[in-house]
Amino acid sequence: MSNRSHRLVSLAALTGAATALIFAALTICLPPLTPSVEPPTPRALPGRDLDAIDREGVLWVAIERDELDYELRRGRAEGLAFDMALAFATRLGVELRVVTPPSPAAALARLARGEVDLVATSDSGPRPVLARVQWTIAFEIAQPVVIGRHAAEIRRIEDLAGRRITVRRHSALEAQAFKWREQLDGRLEIERATADIGAGELALGAATGRWALVVMDESRARLEQAVYKPLQISRPLPPSLPVRWAIHPDASALETEVDQWLDDARRGGFLARMRQRYLENPLRLKAWRRPVFRDGGPSLSPYDSLFRREADRIGFDWRLLAALSFAESGYDRWEISSQGAMGLLQIMPRVARTYGADDPFDPEQNVAAGASLLSWLYGLFDNVPSPDRLAFTLAAYNMGYGHLQDARALAAMNGLDPDRWEGHVETVLPLLEDPAVADRLPHGRARGRTTRRYVAHVMAIFHRFTAAAESTTGLSASTH
């Protein structure tokens, strides 16, 4: 290692039919976000070992395109498997070039053909029997589980009897699922999802009820559960599976070097830091998946048609529902607040029951219930002139009608106008947090400062949406 020259570590990911021409001209070639075809064969040197890698100055690594393992963010590659592969290439003093096959099985096939030097992953990976390869030491242990809306019912393998599970084709988890079926004397139905479907899509399918139970590594399952709140996770179902990389069987020196590096990375805390950054950081994954905020224009969110339909039903400007949803959930249909509010418009369970939203995470049911509540509240303030009426409606939506009525009474007691928002009712809202005041009110304490900021926030977003529309069309928007 000490006599190797230290070369600049860079990234070249091969995708698309024109890659060969591009690679001939460029040192670094970044892939598009959604490669549609497999990259061409970079070379055919089966069993290339460490000396050839050092001589060429390039380490070829196959990493499946996945939000966790490898993705482009603002033109920069990142991910758990990518960061690990980059760290290993840096240790070798060579350049990293990444190939992104559509599935783990395709990655192993490329390795067997000598198109890449190793396959990097952060999960239990593909079925070991798919290709002639050798495996590194296990740097992590994966615990298989099933996820779904009612997966907490599964506490042991016997609880799977008579059920249907979905598992990714050609994965190590698939091999595990077949062993469970043998253990249950065939009393388990297995649906094999396509090999190119990712963990995120599988988790989404489990959350929406498309699949009753999906097999997944526990660490990834807990990450997805933090994003898709209705998901439940079973108890770990034995046996555990090794997390490891794959190397060509003829590359014995490379295998030894990788094993040593993985052991050093584990002992030195590098793997723990990577795990914390990716596997134990649901906020990162939520931010990646959150829809982009669009400041006006013809399209504001993925749910515009739904907002338009429900707004037409209640006689409101649809952009108000869009602004409300963005403020409440960031257009995240799976959001659950610390108070138990759910979905796009953050409706409480009692509101869901009142307006017939059997599944509050279903966008159509959630928005219909939230819009009905908003319309009902608006009708309670028919004696309040606009635009104060809308501010009162939003305040009641956030803190409850009773608390807002307490605030209006306080405003009147302090010589303010109970029918005006700015400079009047909104100024007394902080008093609802004072026990000396709030405990004497009919509805008790409330987070008045939070509601005041909430109303200003929703109104600001709504005005930005409508102002952008007016500048585009020349038409003015309604105030509700």
Per-residue pLDDT tens for 345-367? 999 999 999 999 999 999 999 99
Q: Tell me, what's the pLDDT at 45?
A: 58
Angle between helix axes 318-329 and 388-399 (nearest 10 degrees) is 40
Same domain, 126 and 221: no
Q: Tell me, what's the pLDDT at 16?
A: 36
Provide CB contacts within 8 A for 356, sequence distance 6+.
Answer: 365, 369
Same domain, 110 and 155: no
Residue 469 domain-assigned (yes or no): yes
Angle between helix axes 388-399 and 363-380 (nearest 10 degrees) is 120
The 10s digit of each residue's pLDDT in 137-147 is 999 999 999 99
Over 90: is that where the pLDDT of 4 sits? Answer: no
- Of 42 and 412, the structure prediction assigns the larger pLDDT to 412
Same domain, 205 and 276: no
Q: Tell me, what's the pLDDT at 297?
A: 60
Percent of the chain with pLDDT over 70: 85
Same domain, 379 and 395: yes
Of 89-98, 161-170, 270-279, 469-478, the one with minimum mean pLDDT is 469-478
Q: How confident is the model at residue 18 (pLDDT cuts 50, 70, 90)?
A: very low
- Asked if 60 and 24 count as a contact pair (C-beta separation under 8 A), the reply is no
Provide CB contacts within 8 A for 355, sequence distance 6+.
Answer: 347, 368, 369, 372, 373
Copy the structure tokens of residue 172: 């190590």
Residue 16 domain-assigned (yes or no): yes
Q: Tell me, what's the pLDDT at 435?
A: 94
Q: Tell me, what's the pLDDT at 103?
A: 87
Same domain, 226 and 371: no
Same domain, 396 and 351: yes
Residue 2 domain-assigned (yes or no): no
Residue 295 domain-assigned (yes or no): no
Residue 297 domain-assigned (yes or no): no
Average pLDDT over residues 161-181: 96
| Residue found under tokens 């996770």 | 233
- Integer distance in angstroms from the first to the last C-alpha of the chain? 69
Average pLDDT over residues 57-62: 96
- Residue 335 C-alpha from the chain's centroid: 11
Same domain, 418 and 433: yes
Over 80: is that where the pLDDT of 28 sits? Answer: no
pTM score of the predicted model: 0.75
Over 70: is that where the pLDDT of 199 sits? Answer: yes
The 10s digit of each residue's pLDDT in 270-311 is 999 999 999 998 888 887 777 665 655 678 899 999 999 999
CATH code: domain of residue 51: 3.40.190.10
Over 90: is that where the pLDDT of 35 sits? Answer: no
Average pLDDT over residues 229-239: 96
Q: How confident is the model at residue 74 (pLDDT cuts 50, 70, 90)?
A: confident
CATH code: domain of residue 321: 1.10.530.10
Q: Tell me, what's the pLDDT at 304?
A: 95
Q: Tell me, what's the pLDDT at 468?
A: 67
Average pLDDT over residues 46-74: 90
Mean pLDDT of the chain: 87
Q: How confident is the model at residue 472 (pLDDT cuts 50, 70, 90)?
A: very low
Over 90: is that where the pLDDT of 29 sits? Answer: no
Copy the structure tokens of residue 233: 């996770």
Same domain, 268 and 170: no
Same domain, 204 and 277: no
Over 90: is that where the pLDDT of 128 sits? Answer: no
Residue 204 domain-assigned (yes or no): yes
Provide CB contacts within 8 A for 361, sequence distance 6+.
Answer: 207, 229, 230, 333, 334, 342, 343
Q: Tell me, what's the pLDDT at 471?
A: 53
Over 60: is that where the pLDDT of 5 sits? Answer: no
Out of 187, 216, 241, a domain closes at 241
Residue 480 domain-assigned (yes or no): no
Copy the structure tokens of residue 198: 């990712």
Q: How confident is the model at residue 477 (pLDDT cuts 50, 70, 90)?
A: very low
Same domain, 308 and 448: yes
Q: Tell me, what's the pLDDT at 40?
A: 45
Q: Which of 275, 66, 98 is nearest to 171 (CA)?
A: 66
Q: How confident is the model at residue 47 (pLDDT cuts 50, 70, 90)?
A: low
Please give the backbone phi and psi of residue 398, each rounded to the nearest 5 degrees, phi first: -80, -45
Over 60: is that where the pLDDT of 160 sits? Answer: yes
Same domain, 271 and 367: no
Q: Tell me, what's the pLDDT at 369?
A: 97
Q: Which of 261, 331, 332, 288 is nearest to 68 (CA)?
A: 288
Over 80: is that where the pLDDT of 223 sits? Answer: yes
Same domain, 397 and 376: yes
Give the total number of structural domains in the chain: 3
Q: Residue 231: which domain range?
A: 141-241
Average pLDDT over residues 384-407: 96
Residue 177 domain-assigned (yes or no): yes
